[in-house]
Structure 1
Amino acid sequence: MRPLVVLPEDRPCAPCAPALPPARPKGYCRPLPPARRRPPSVLWRRIRLALLFIAVALVGSSGAYVWFRTDWPAQAQIAAQEFLGEAGASVELRLAEVNLRGRVHTPLEMLAEAVAVERGDPILSLDLDTLRRRVEAIGWVKQATVWRQLPDTLHIEIVEREPFARWQIDGHIYLIDETGRVLEDGDRPDFADRLLLVGAGASDKAQDLLDMLQIDPVLAARVVHATRVRGRRWDIAFDNGVIVRLPEENPEQAWVRLIALEQSHGLLRRDLEMVDLRQDDRLIVRLSPEAEPPPPVVTPAKKTGKRT
């Protein structure tokens, strides 16, 4: 048999030879895996959650008691404002400009009195929440947003209420919106075309009156003023001088009845002074003094028969 000959180039070199694991010492044994911890029982987990919940509730209630029963929040706010004011003054962050947006009818004098800031005031010491509340206290202002833009600008944006009618009471005229809120004292010429409401309680029922009149906008355009009688019902005055008396209960039904009478018979185009709709089963009218009296009714004379 021919012996196996290993050539030099076929011998594995040391770097390429596979590394064999070191021989284990005598008496070696493989280490055991770590023991797995037994998970806690469901009861113990519930007890821990309950204790955690009780602790959080105690801390929260204690904090709420301190917050509401002491003046610590107010003192902290005052201290923060003083600190910010001093810091703003030290770095020369002072108010130089007030930017106002959204104003249409609100007088500038009212806004200037409500804002009450001056050029040169420390901008960081301004109480924006208090300033917003003062602006929203103006009758015209429905909503106000106030913010500062460093280094020197204060922004005020307002949303105004819509003027609905003029309210006359005790010799004074006030401009009100549809909810009855007083916007301004006085009769401004630019709102002379607004509906005039007269009497105590008329402003509180302004929205109900508006909803009733809008059933027929054409007829509503002819209304000049509405008087609240004893705080219970309405007397509606039209542009031709006719007064329509509405009932205390269900005035909308009487208004619909008036619309039907106007469309079918032209009731409001006649020479009338008053139309009373307070009773459902009858219609009472009063002629105007200038109306022509109705022609006299002539009854024909009876012919006498011949005697026989």
Structure 2
Amino acid sequence: MVDYTSTSPRNRSSGWKQAHTQRSKRQKTKAVRYRTSPKREVNVQTVLRIGLDWGAKCVLAAVLVYGLFHGYLFFTTAPQFNISRVTFHGNKTVSAENLYAVAAPVFGENIFHVDLENVLTPIRSDNWVQDVSVIRKLPQSLHIHLQERVPYARLQLERVYLMDHYGVLIALDSGGYDALPLIQAGALDRVELGKPVHIDWVVPGLQAMNSLNQLEAFRERPFNAVRFTEPHHLMFTSGTREVTVRMAVDRLAEGFGNFKMVLEALQSDIATVRFIDLSFADRVVVRDDPAGGAATPIKKS
């Protein structure tokens, strides 16, 4: 069976009218859009002004770059900025002659181009130097400031060394420092100048000695030597060797508190005391003879 679909002339006429109406609407919409869009006019004066502004900026940038370049050349090549003077400050032990010998290569160098690390590195390598800094002083000077290590104690190993309060070994004791506390530590496998000494009790022992010497009873006869004894004790001795104090390494703060209690108990009799044992946890032992003799135990309240 064959099926034919037919369209009447009336339907075809209606379709053409509808299509024509939609096309007319689109054309009217385009015409309205065209009429309502703003007119673009080229303003010659505005374009010229913008061009001149950008041209002026380019010229200014070129002049600035040119000036910077030639300024750089002037400051880095002109003889007016060649180093002619180096001064050192803060050096008391470090030889000024050695310092100037280290600084000699920088003379005549441009102050802006000189490699300051070439000067500072050898100065820092001196064991007496704790810190060093440098300031450029225009047009031709360098000011170098040193902070030297201050000997705080003497450390007796196989030889006697000077040590600062950080535990850093400075140099061999060549004399002139007999007033400093003496730490008798025996021997070490390795001794390196400019490095901290690796003995656990040294710094706490020095701090305890300093606390003991702050007490009124021992300002006239301060402790100036400390040594380690087995199993874990520190022995503090006064300069005249009249008084010896023994304290436990792991209870130094507690021992110092006990020491102040002893001073309050003895009062004026402290002048006759020769040995005080603070190594016990529950009592303090006081003797008139450090080698033995009568002992007076003072129990903690």
TM range (shorter): 0.5 to 0.7
Shift of 1:128: 0.6
Of 114, 131, 155, the match for 1:167: 155
Q: Is 1:212 aligned to 2:208, yes or no?
A: yes
Shift of 1:265: 0.7
Shift of 1:155: 1.9
Which residue in the other structure is 1:250 paired with?
Answer: 251
Opposite residue 259 of structure 1, the aligned amino acid is: K
Question: Following superposition of structure 1 onto structure 2, how do residues 171-182 of structure 1 map, counting pairs within 5 Å?
Answer: 171-174=159-162, 176-182=163-169
Post-superposition CA distance 1:221-240 (Å, at most 9, x none): 41121123369542100244
TM-score if structure 1 supplies the norm length? Answer: 0.54
Opposite residue 224 of structure 2, the aligned amino acid is: V
Which residue in the other structure is 1:224 paired with?
Answer: 224
Q: CA RMSD in A?
A: 3.9
Q: 1:108 to 1:182 in 2, by over 3 A?
A: farther
Opposite residue 209 of structure 1, the aligned amino acid is: G
Where in structure 2 are there 5+ consecutive unaligned residues? 1-33, 40-72, 187-196, 295-301
Q: Is 1:199 aligned to 2:185, yes or no?
A: yes
**Aligned partners of 1:94, 1:231: CA distance in 2, in Å?**
64
Post-superposition CA distance 1:193-241 (Å, at most 9, x none): 2222221568754442344345451256411211233695421002442
Post-superposition CA distance 1:105-162 (Å, at most 9, x none): 434355346x352585535564212322322232332221124445542221122333
Shift of 1:178: 1.1
Of 85, 89, 93, the match for 1:97: 85
Which residue in the other structure is 1:277 paired with?
Answer: 278
Post-superposition CA distance 1:79-110 (Å, at most 9, x none): xxxxx9xx76x958654321112223434355
Question: Following superposition of structure 1 onto structure 2, how do residues 1-308 of structure 1 map, counting pairs within 5 Å?
Answer: 31-33=36-38, 91=79, 94-108=82-96, 111-112=99-100, 115-118=102-105, 120-123=107-110, 126-149=114-137, 151-174=139-162, 176-189=163-176, 191-200=177-186, 205-215=201-211, 217-218=214-215, 221=219, 222-229=222-229, 232-241=232-241, 242-266=243-267, 268-270=270-272, 272=274, 274-288=275-289
Where in structure 1 are there 5+ consecutive unaligned residues? 1-28, 35-83, 295-308
Alignment coverage as a number of residue pairs: 210
**Aligned partners of 2:271, 2:126: CA distance in 1, in Å?**
43
Q: Confirm or deny: 8 A CA contact 2:151 2:165 kept in the other structure.
A: yes
Identity %, equivalent residues? 20
Post-superposition CA distance 1:12-45 (Å, at most 9, x none): xxxxxxxxxxxxxxxxx855149xxxxxxxxxxx
Opposite residue 246 of structure 1, the aligned amino acid is: M
Opposite residue 179 of structure 1, the aligned amino acid is: Y
Structure 1 stretches of at least 4 aligned residues deviating more than 6 Å after TM superposition: none
**Aligned partners of 2:266, 2:161: CA distance in 1, in Å?**
36
Opposite residue 163 of structure 1, the aligned amino acid is: P
